[in-house]
Amino acid sequence: MLKRKIWLATILCICITVTSCKKEWLEAKRDKSLVVPVTLSDYQSLLDNTSIMNLNAPALGHFSSDDIYIENSKLNFIYVLPRNAYQWKVDIYEGAPNSDWDKAYQRIYYANLVMEGIDKIKVTESNNNEWNMAKGIALFDRSLSFSTLLDNFSKQFDSATASTDLGIPLKLTSDINEVAQRSTVNDCYLKIIADLKSAADLLPKTYIVNRLLRPSKQAAFAQLARIYLIMGNFDEALFYSNEVLKINSTLMNFSEIDATKPNYSIAYLNTETLLYTQLLGYSTANIQVNPTVYNLYSDDDLRKQVYFNVTDLGVFFKGNYSGNSFGLFNGTATDEIYLIRAECYARKNKIPEAMADLNALLTTRWKPGTYLPYTATTIDDAMNKILVERRKELLFRGIRWTDLRRLNKEAKYAITLMRQLESQSIMLLPNDNKYVFAIPDSEILYNNIPQNNRQ
């Protein structure tokens, strides 16, 4: 047992991506002292390694979004990838490794390894729940990684072109010698949705709070609501947001949060959290909040104190659902689900229902007795209010990037982003090629797949 635990600790430290670490992995496989996983407990241990499975979600989109502001004098102190992403450069990498891509495929590798392993274990009455748990989590983790890769390395879903637009390589086995070509965007989403639904069938409804690092049925439903919103399928997004809120509709009361803490105010694994994941840990010390966003908040809006630390150096974000000052929460939470459902109601012309969801959320975000409930008379009026509040509620979670991509497909919601650098003003037009990041060159060379055009 000790030897197996040592192996598990060892394998979780090995970088195993198809592109850059093939040699190292093959050499590790030759080490006969390493014990292969055997039991369901072994495989569950692989899935429970939070440093791999819950952290390091792609973050380049966050740095390209209009959530953030970086002073020109601080740009050179930031690592090359986020620095170039912030400036919307054609070549972001400059030869540096791309952890956004590599870490995602590392998670996919582990998910595939687990699924292949447990398929060899006979399901019995005594191990059925444990087997279902491992299979459901592996399916979820792979689907989540596929979807975050699509958000960054493929074009936004468009029903008119999704069957021909290039998606990502759908790596479905742990065979590192397998060459996976890029599937279409449509096929990628079909696979993601099918696997999330299968995962939901296998997973428990929820977990006690200290297990919110494991996917659950409610997390699968929440991810499906996200995916369908991105795809513009508002009927399905509404259905799955309803399913989530049937299980957990809890919202934190911000008047009960101590907003005086300078680094963070919101507790880790709080009552709104459905699944905890975190963006890749690029340094955030010099990253400020876009002043345009900060100025959206009323003084009676408690988020102005809970989310932000205002200093002589600028306005910094401290509203992470991570219980620290550096980890940017990227998981799902009930506040997002209320906003998804509100948007779906509005788009379906169910305006009273849309405003009810929006007001239910905002009542918990304002000083007691100060909030005046929203009303709306038209779809456009309701949508404008919901999108502004979505902007204010979900910043610094990586969600803004996917919102920009999907909303740019609708002319009335499309936004041109602008930044003032030292020597020039730059802009990012709606649907620009720079909304899709380049695939790492090593992946292009090894698998001979087409590159994305950022020109």
Residue ranges, the chain, pLDDT below 50: 1-34
Which positions ≥6 away from 70 have C-beta within 8 Å?
78, 86, 286, 287, 288
Quote the pLDDT of residue 4.
44
Quote the pLDDT of residue 216.
96
pLDDT digits (tens, 9 = 90+) for 37-51: 999 999 999 999 999
pLDDT digits (tens, 9 = 90+) for 234-263: 999 999 999 999 999 999 999 999 999 888
Cα 67-73-74 angle, rounded to 5 deg: 55
Quote the pLDDT of residue 18.
40
What is the spatial distance between Cα 97 and Cα 172, in angstroms, rounded to a whole number? 23
Quote the pLDDT of residue 35.
56
Give the helix, strand, coil percentages of the chain, each rounded to 5.
Answer: 50, 10, 45
Secondary structure (3-state) at 50: helix
Number of H helices, E strands in the chain: 18, 10
End-to-end CA distance of the chain: 54
Using CA atoms, how far residue 230 sits from 135, 156, 157, 224, 419, in Å, is 26, 8, 7, 10, 26
Longest dimension (CA), the chain: 70
Quote the pLDDT of residue 210.
63
Quote the pLDDT of residue 93.
96
Which positions ≥6 away from 420 have C-beta within 8 Å?
none
On whether the CB atoms of residues 375 and 346 are closer than 8 A, the answer is no
Q: How far is CA 144 from the centre of its chain?
A: 8
Dihedral, CA atoms, 93, 97, 101, 103, nearest 10 degrees? -150
Cα 205-230-348 angle, rounded to 5 deg: 85
What is the spatial distance between Cα 306 and Cα 389, in angstroms, rounded to a whole number? 16
Q: Which two tokens stand for residue 167?
A: 């998606």
Q: Environment class of residue 368 by beta-carbon count within 10 Å: exposed (0-12), middle (13-18) or buried (19+)?
A: exposed
Count Cα neighbours of 393 within 13 Å in the Cβ-side half-sphere: 28
Type and span of the H or E element at 428: strand 425-428
Helix axes 40-47, 128-153, angle to 10 degrees: 30
Quote the pLDDT of residue 114.
98
Map out the domains of the chain with their CATH numbers: 2-256+329-447 (1.25.40.390)
DSSP category for residue 451 = P
What is the spatial distance between Cα 241 and Cα 221, in angstroms, rounded to a whole number? 7
Quote the pLDDT of residue 27.
41
Sequential DSSP letters for 330-361: -SEEHHHHHHHHHHHHHHTT-HHHHHHHHHHH
* pTM beyond 0.85, yes or no: yes
Quote the pLDDT of residue 209.
59
User: Which amino acid is it at 75?
Assistant: L
Q: Which two tokens stand for residue 436?
A: 């899709």
What is the spatial distance between Cα 22 and Cα 442, in angstroms, rounded to a whole number? 12
Quote the pLDDT of residue 284.
76
